[in-house]
Amino acid sequence: MRKPLIIANWKSNPLTLKEAVVLARSAEKYSKIFRGADVVVAPPFLFISAVSKILRQAKLGAQDVFWAEGPYTGEISLRQLKNLGVRYVIVGHSSLRMTLGETDEMVNKKIKKNSLKGVKKSQLERVVVAYEPVWAISTMPGAQVDTPQSAVRALRYLRGILSRMYGKKYADKVKMLYGGSVSAKNARQFLILPGVDGALVGGASLRPQEFGEIISQASAF
Ligand code: PEP
């Protein structure tokens, strides 16, 4: 199995810089203790600069990026993120589709116009795909974590699409994550699955000890 990747998606949390610093320090602490897993922390743009000064072992992520540089009110470009040390960017999250009407075309532009121009085969090892059923996201009413069987099926399906596009050898380089109500209680049942390279963690990444427990479980694989 590849080194598991655990991505913390803080969404629009926390409310204060002070809390963000506490969360980032904790994620960094657990990343240093449990080095068997790669950890990425994706805070809101607001806290990226402060969090960048704390993370060393854990990598810095962002929750979105715009497709162009220039005079776009409220938007953030890839170059700005890179200059702050951002190594990962989440694009196409379902919450943007649902609340802001982000379309496939917009997601496509964000990918193609930024560093992954045309996604060359050799760059596929830098691509991470997260399968995250909307109904499993912890903030959705009646959210329920997916079953391991269903997650395996979905990820196999997604890898099949990549294989047809790029060939199996290259498709296998892409890391595939499960996301949706991942907690310290259920993380292991996903991390252990064939074809699952890690987890995208929302709510539980805001609970320092629980997030540490998830990192520790991932590190043990
Ligand atoms: C997410 O929405 O990206 C997510 C992982 O959420 P949660 O873990 O809270 O379901």
Pocket of ligand 1 (CB under 6 A): 9, 132, 137-139, 179-182, 200-203
- Residue 214 Cα to ligand 1 midpoint, Å, equals 14
Considering only CA atoms, which residue is closest to atom 1 of ligand 1? 202
Q: Look up residue 12 and give its two tokens.
A: 């629009």
Q: Which of 128, 127, 217, 144 shows the shortest CA–CA distance to 177?
A: 128
Question: Residue 14: is the preceding peptide bond cis (ω within 30°)?
Answer: yes
Q: Is the pLDDT of residue 119 over 80?
A: no
Q: Which amino acid is at 94?
A: S
Among 7, 131, 200, residue to substitute to test ligand 1 (most atoms within 8 Å of Cβ): 200
Q: What is the number of other CB atoms lying within 10 angstroms of the CB of residue 60?
A: 21
Q: Which of 64, 135, 46, 74 shows the shortest CA–CA distance to 106?
A: 64
DSSP 28-53: HHHHHH-TTSEEEEE--HHHHHHHHT
Q: What's the CATH code of the domain at 146?
A: 3.20.20.70
Report the helix count and the strand count for the chain, using DSSP H and E: 9, 7
- Residue 31 Cα to ligand 1 midpoint, Å, equals 20
Q: Which of 182, 179, 175 shows the shortest CA–CA distance to 207?
A: 182
Query: Would you state the pLDDT for residue 115?
Result: 62
Q: Is the pLDDT of residue 179 over 90?
A: yes
Q: Which domain covers residue 46, as residue numbers?
A: 5-219
CA distance 128 to 148: 19
Name the E strands within the chain: 5-9, 38-42, 59-62, 86-89, 128-131, 175-179, 198-201
CA 142 to mean position of chain CA atoms: 23
How many independent structural domains does the chain possess?
A: 1
Question: 41 has which bridge partners?
Answer: 8, 60
Does the pTM surpass 0.85? The reply is yes
| Average pLDDT rounded to a whole number, residues 40-48 | 98
Nearest 5 degrees, angle CA 207-CA 208-CA 212? Answer: 115
The model's pLDDT over 127-157, given as tens digits with 9 standing for 90+, comes to 999 999 999 999 999 999 999 999 999 999 9
The model's pLDDT over 69-107, given as tens digits with 9 standing for 90+, comes to 999 999 999 999 999 999 999 999 999 999 999 999 999
Q: Look up residue 188 and give its two tokens.
A: 């292991």
